[in-house]
Chains A and B, each alone.
Chain A
Amino acid sequence: MRRRSTSLQDLLLLLLKEGRQRILVLAAIFTVVALGTLVAGLYWPQKYAASAAILVEPKSSIAPGTEGPPLSTLVNQIVLSRKILRELMTYGGWVEPHDPRAKDRLLDQIKSRISIATAGGGGDRIGPSLVRITYVDSDPERTFKIAGKLTEIYVRESIIPEERANRQTFEFIDGQVKEYAKKLADAHAQVVTYYQAHSATPNKPTPKEPPPKPGSISAADLAALRVEEANLQRELNRKRDPVAPDLVQAESHYRERALQLQGELERLLTTYTDEHPDVIRVKRELAQAKANADQARAERVAAETTSAAFEDDVMRAARQRLDDVQKKIAAATGNGRTPAPTLPDPSPATSPQDPEFRLVKQDAAMSELIRGYETDRDVYLDLLKRREQARVSLELAEQRGLRLQIQEPPEMPAAPVSARLTNIVLAGMMIAVLLPLALLFAIIKFDARVRSVEQLQSIGKLPVLVKIAYAPTPVEERNQRLRLMLASAMVAAVFIVYAAVFYIRYTTPS
């Protein structure tokens, strides 16, 4: 312990001695570093930062067709794309350089100033995530402007990718629906026209054609009539499916959403005023949900009406046809009771000119038309269902976009984020003091030349007779005093310059 303290004392004495010998050099280093740091601090570019925090709501699990990479990744890439950067360049007031390379450099520079950080469940698309967009610039006003614009672009670009795909799907299906609606209307018109053209003829008794006598039609025609009767009865007995269940589901979904938002609004109003951003947002969403619900209801009613009208026409026609067929069968059998089917008569008693045969042919054409109509109707209903799914997806995507909530809008930066002059100066002063000391220490530590009797004694071969202490001559003393004064003047000048700079900086209004 004693030896350590002795060596420490020796080290301090050596530092003092070396420092005294190199006082001018050390003072010069101190002065250069201190003043250099001051100049650097004065001209250090000030940077301002403005950031906005956007809360991204979790994705709805019922929204189909939105699989893919996380939304935040996509939007980050979009926001940092050249197109958006050019938009920012124009918005920020930069003069667009003519040189493409200079333009690239400017865009890269703008890009390097933007940082988008996502926290929370945004990466795996589960749970809410907080996206923080930060922009750094030397101009506080431009920083604020660009940060606001970036937030707006982020929200805009977050909505578009999802919405675009859903809208395209919806428009395609909607086109198909319209096409099949037209086809269905045509088929319906054909059926009605055919029915009006042919159905009245057999029922109208004409003098030329006596009422059919029992047994006047062949067994084969009778069998055909019976088959048609069975088909018509099956058709009439078929239970009517509910029209457009998806429309019903969508309507109920919107209703539930409206109720939910109404509850949230009431809850918010107990705490906040009408001007609060959350209240405004919920009101807007509530109005949207109500509008959607009304629209879904109107569409459902329209679909039901259309479908019912078609259905009624078809059913009426089928019922009349059934009556006709039953009348023919009754006439053929004579008592209105359906006789047991008999084997068809192989004799060629009928011919194409036979009115009964013509009636059967007309019935077959009618069935064909009905089948075509039914096929079109099935496709139409299926397309309606798909269109509603697409509409729900589109609405959900839009709804999700609207749920991008700006938690923290950007604010005008009041203070720079870069190091302040005081910090730079303090750091520089510390370096200015420590650097000469470190140099002295390095000289003592790494310069192997003999500086003490102990080093000589460690050689071990020769005795150290005496140590001649250093005592400066009067001339040396005078020179040393001069050097010390000069060094002191340099250090004092540094402090005077510092004091002057800080006085001017903090007393002069900027």
Chain B
Amino acid sequence: MSTVRRRDQGTGKEGGEDRKIMPDDFESRDTEFYEGPQQRALVKTTRPRLFEGPSSGNDLPAGMLSSDQLESFRELRTRLTLTAADAGLRHFTTLVVPVAGGSGASFVARNLAASFTLQEGTIAVLVDCDFRNPTQHAVMMERPTDEGLSDYLEWPYTPAERMMAVRRLILPTSIPGLHLIPAGRCEAIRAGRPREYFTSSAMKLLMTDLRAEPCFVVLDGPAVTGSPDARILSDFADLIILVVGYARSTPVAVAEAAALFDPKKLAGIVFDEGGSDGKRRKR
């Protein structure tokens, strides 16, 4: 968060202003924000390659969401933006976690990220951190790839290699401005060997890189119950959204899940009425 705030202070443009992002902003902010030569070099070489370009004001393809749902996600985006603006944030990272599995958090994270790109000149990146039940690559990629975040975190890259890996990691989607970092193979998880993915330095560096970008980062996290990963991921987030699915959690469980997070970061609850069937809706 400090990185983002520092970046905003450096540009002299205080957070909370919903200003349209222009392509020129990338270059100007980069040179001002990153002071060190190595960092500048990094940015100058990597930033334009991280994302293909901002959205020019998307319209979601017809039939993907109902009008009610679309309005709900626009409302959610606006409320989050206002909340972040109150905290002085212009671009922010949002962690979307379900209280229990099957609550529809991946659906919410995906469509929240897409809703950011509805605005012209915005870039959003969706990071699939739900290693136990990764779904985003199958929904958003026309040709799903096996490689992803878990592979990146498992491999001991050198700094130079790491940047190359990060570039390969961020994949464009069919929605302009919306990028995806898929979960990957998650071999350790599938083998039943829990691993400290999110506390690794590679993860921290990746998040530092992402937060340095003028983009909206949405982390699709695992369920709060059953694993500490959601709480670990909350360290990288500016705002946290708890997703409660229809008939998936009791009020007590919701309250207990909310108590696990920093109240200042916890933006609120999203109630997903379609989350009861436990099926990941492919939207």
Contacts and interface: CB of A to CB of B under 8 A. Distances in A.
Interface of A: 21, 447-451, 453, 455-456, 458-459, 461-474, 476
B79 A468 contact: no
A254 B114 CA distance: 116
Interface in B47-68: 63, 65-66, 68
Contacts of B63: 474
A450 B249 contact: yes
A470 B271 contact: no
Interface in B226-281: 241-242, 244, 246-252, 254-255, 258, 266-274, 276-277, 281
A448 B73 CA distance: 27
Nearest to B248: A449
B79 A465 contact: yes
A465 B112 CA distance: 12
Contacts of B72: 466-469
Contact of A470 (B241, B246, B252, B254): B246
Contact of A473 (B252, B267, B268, B283): B283
B273 A469 contact: yes
Given A456-B269, A468-B271, A450 B66 contact: no
Nearest to A474: B63
A457 to B, nearest CB: 9
A468 B270 CA distance: 7
Cβ-closest 3 pairs across A and B: A471-B66, A470-B274, A465-B268
A465 B243 CA distance: 10
- Max chain A Cβ within 10 angstroms of own Cβ: one of B72, B104, B247, B254: B247
Contacts of B269: 456, 462-465
B274 A459 contact: no
Contact of A462 (B252, B268, B272): B268
B6 interface: no
Q: Per DSSP, are chain B's interface residues mostly helix, strand or loop, or mixed? A: mixed
B75 interface: yes
15 contacts: A449-B248, A450-B244, A453-B271, A459-B254, A462-B242, A463-B268, A466-B72, A467-B270, A468-B69, A468-B72, A469-B66, A469-B274, A470-B273, A471-B66, A471-B69
Contacts of B69: 468-469, 471
B135 to A, nearest CB: 14
B258 A471 contact: no
Contacts of A451: 246-247
Given A462-B242, A469-B273, 16 more contacts: A448-B250, A450-B250, A450-B251, A456-B271, A462-B266, A462-B269, A464-B269, A465-B241, A466-B72, A468-B73, A468-B104, A468-B108, A468-B273, A471-B66, A472-B274, A476-B281
B282 interface: yes
A465 B267 contact: yes
B203 interface: no
A474 B281 CA distance: 11
Contacts of B255: 459, 461
B257 to A, nearest CB: 10
B165 interface: no
Nearest to B251: A459
B76 interface: yes
A471 B277 CA distance: 13
Nearest to A458: B251
Interface in B105-134: 107-108
- Max chain B Cβ within 10 angstroms of own Cβ: one of A449, A456, A463, A468: A468
Nearest to A444: B247
Nearest to B79: A465
A427 to B, nearest CB: 33
A357 B68 CA distance: 152
